[in-house]
Amino acid sequence: MFSALARPAGAVLRRSFSTSAQNNAKVAVLGASGGIGQPLALLLKNSPLVSRLTLYDIAHTPGVAADLSHIETRATVKGYLGPEQLPDCLKGCDVVVIPAGVPRKPGMTRDDLFNTNASIVATLSAACAQHCPEAMICVISNPVNSTIPIATEVFKKHGVYNPNKIFGVTTLDIVRANTFIAELKGLDPARVNVPVIGGHAGKTIIPLISQCTPKVDLPQDQLTAITGRIQEAGTEVVKAKAGAGAATLSMAYAGARFVFSLVDAMNGKEGVVECSFVKSQEAECAYFSTPLMLGKKGIEKNLGIGKISSFEEKMIAEAIPELKASIKKGEEFVKNMK
């Protein structure tokens, strides 16, 4: 029922915006000097939805901010360097996007990033809980299946947890599914919408091709192949970059798409739907990605899994144990933090 709605943001980076009094989002990017952070900050600076852009990292942010500040759009840009400047970066923010951390190298799984990225996300989440507890928190840092439970537990520790405001950004899975299906069927990718549910790693990535709009019919062999390609698309980029990083440009696009949808919804736009990895009662694990109706206060309504095929049902069943383990790993990390 939701799939017809599910892509109002599909061409979000390509449309012309009307500016209104509400287009005053104050957005922070934490990890703004990195491979995702820089192109993401560029896309945010380019949007009339954003009035203030604050950039944080442990290196290079003054330079990135100076560079972006010359662009002829109205968002003011300021760079903040190192932990002592982080509170000022966060004060008054409406949305915080977190792409900070280390990327994958060939042969690594997203889970191999856990030790480094878990403590980065925990530290940054704690700062958000203290300095902008009301902000929407959008986590890009992998492994998302564990970093969202980490952010949640940190917010709980600080007594400011709101399940409607913490999002694991899985949008790149949707963007990839839309692109690959469009290529396969000769469609315009901006008109294709494939909900992708579950998590954000390997077999936990579950494209609901049966719910694709427009409807597409694929024989089982093609369905299996394209599902596998969507699930391993990140690894495809890691291999192609041959040690020089992971998906950064497409991830920046996807992160911006999600932020613009969120800000549109916060501004009162109706019918804004995006998939995201969030606290959920929709499956047999505590967090699960499904299409969400976004609103002024974050998640307005979880639209759930909907009607699915037996092939998709089987994928969900196979994903649950891995999801549960990744979630537990994140929760345990915060429990054992000093």
Which residues does the annotation mark as catalytic?
200
**298 has binding-site annotation:** no
Residue 85 and residue 60 in contact, taking contact as beta carbons nearer than 8 Å: no
Angstrom CA distances, 191 to 9, 12, 132, 183, 333, stand at: 10, 12, 36, 12, 41
**33 has binding-site annotation:** yes
**63 has binding-site annotation:** no
**37 has binding-site annotation:** yes
**295 has binding-site annotation:** no
**32 has binding-site annotation:** yes
Q: How far apart are CA 317 and CA 263, in angstroms?
A: 34
Q: How far apart are CA 3 and CA 193, in angstroms?
A: 7
Q: Give me 70's structure tokens.
A: 């010359």
3-class state of residue 290 by DSSP: strand
**141 has binding-site annotation:** yes
Q: How far apart are CA 212 and CA 1, in angstroms?
A: 11
Residue 173's nearest CA partner among 152, 188, 193, 191 is 193
**31 has binding-site annotation:** yes
- Antiparallel, parallel or unpaired: β 25-30 and 50-57: parallel
**261 has binding-site annotation:** no
How many Å separate Cα 206 from the centre of its chain? 16
**315 has binding-site annotation:** no
Residue 114 and residue 71 in contact, taking contact as beta carbons nearer than 8 Å: no
Residue 117's nearest CA partner among 135, 99, 95, 129 is 99
**110 has binding-site annotation:** yes
Angle at 101 between CA 37 and CA 136, to 5 degrees: 65
Helix H or strand E encompassing 55: strand 50-57
**36 has binding-site annotation:** yes
Contacts of residue 315, Cβ cutoff 8 Å, sequence gap at least 6? 198, 203, 206, 227
Q: How far apart are CA 155 and CA 162, in angstroms?
A: 8
**7 has binding-site annotation:** no
**107 has binding-site annotation:** no
**289 has binding-site annotation:** no
**1 has binding-site annotation:** no
Which residues are documented as binding site for substrate?
Answer: 104, 110, 142, 176
Which amino acids are annotated as binding site for NAD(+), given as ranges? 31-37, 57, 117, 140-142, 251
